[in-house]
Amino acid sequence: MGSVINSKADDNHSPVKRVTFFRFYAELNDHLPAEYRKKAFPYEFNGKPSLKNSIHAIGIPHGEVDLIIVNGTSVNFNYQLHGGEFVSVYPVFESLDITPVIHLRSKPLRETRFIVDVNLGKLALKLRLLGFDTLFSNSFKDHEIISVSLKEKRIVLTRDRGILKQNSVTHGYWLRSDNPKQQLREVVLRFQLQNSFKPFSRCTHCNSQLIKTEKSLLIGILPVDTLSYYNQFWECHGCGRIYWKGSHFKHILNWIEKLKDAQ
């Protein structure tokens, strides 16, 4: 057990207390109280806890941590604190090569794919609209999300810190905002997705790929007016939904262009 220092031992029979200084960087500070953000602070503990347990106790999901430096040397989550160390903790670098220091997950994901928790349905739809493989179900349980994430190498997107504190989670991100538009911007910026958009390539309903289909095959399926006004159509390979460039198409294109310029 450990805690940020706020008092001294009050009797001579208390267990020996040790102190290590932690400094968290970038968005990891979002998990900390305001008074501990972007600066070093003391962490008090008994025994020799692991870095992973200590980071959890401070309130940081280990799924967002990718690099830990102790007294100038990179270490892994199993490093045991002894007291007197200075620990610098950095977030996941999906897009940067930080070798030869110890990378705390085996390797960055080659293909950006997501699985989102039950509260992020609108975010899932927007990510699919941009062409990103995104799994979502309002019946997903936490253990199912984690299992699929590991099996299919998907990044967990969640508003629940608890999921990212599970020992088995390797890639995850805690959404700071509860607004779907802001959440999408967070994800795009966090994973540097601006040059990876493939809009209108994936079904927003079921996540399957869209394939181009002939207008003649849609006679009797779509209204006559729709077939007369539009010439290009796509069918979902999974659920069979039909898509075309309707009146909202230009509005979506403008929205995507603005998102590409997000900073």
Assign residue 21 the CATH number of its domain: 3.10.20.30
Looking at the 3D structure of the chain, how many domains does it have? Answer: 2
Given a contact cutoff of 8 angstroms between Cβ atoms, the answer to whether 34 and 88 are in contact is no
Amino acid at 248: H
Query: Do residues 80 and 116 both lie within one domain?
Result: no
Averaged pLDDT for residues 144-164: 92
CATH number, position 175: 3.40.50
Give the pLDDT confidence of 194-204 residue by residue, as tens digits. 888 999 999 99
Query: Do residues 185 and 254 both lie within one domain?
Result: yes
Res 109: pLDDT: 52
Q: Which residue has the tokens 């190498």?
A: 153
Query: Do residues 47 and 115 both lie within one domain?
Result: no
Indicate the average pLDDT of the chain. 87
Domain that residue 67 falls in: 2-91
3-state secondary structure 83-125: CCCEEEEEECCCCCCCCCCCCCCCCCCCCCCEEECCCCHHHHH
From 91, 119, 138, the end of a domain falls on: 91
Query: Do residues 114 and 142 both lie within one domain?
Result: yes
What pTM does this model have? 0.68
| pLDDT tier for residue 141 given thresholds of 50, 70 and 90 | very high
Query: Do residues 82 and 153 both lie within one domain?
Result: no
Percent of the chain with pLDDT over 70: 87
Give the pLDDT confidence of 62-96 residue by residue, as tens digits. 888 889 999 989 999 999 999 999 999 998 765 44
Query: Do residues 261 and 147 both lie within one domain?
Result: yes
Res 12: pLDDT: 56
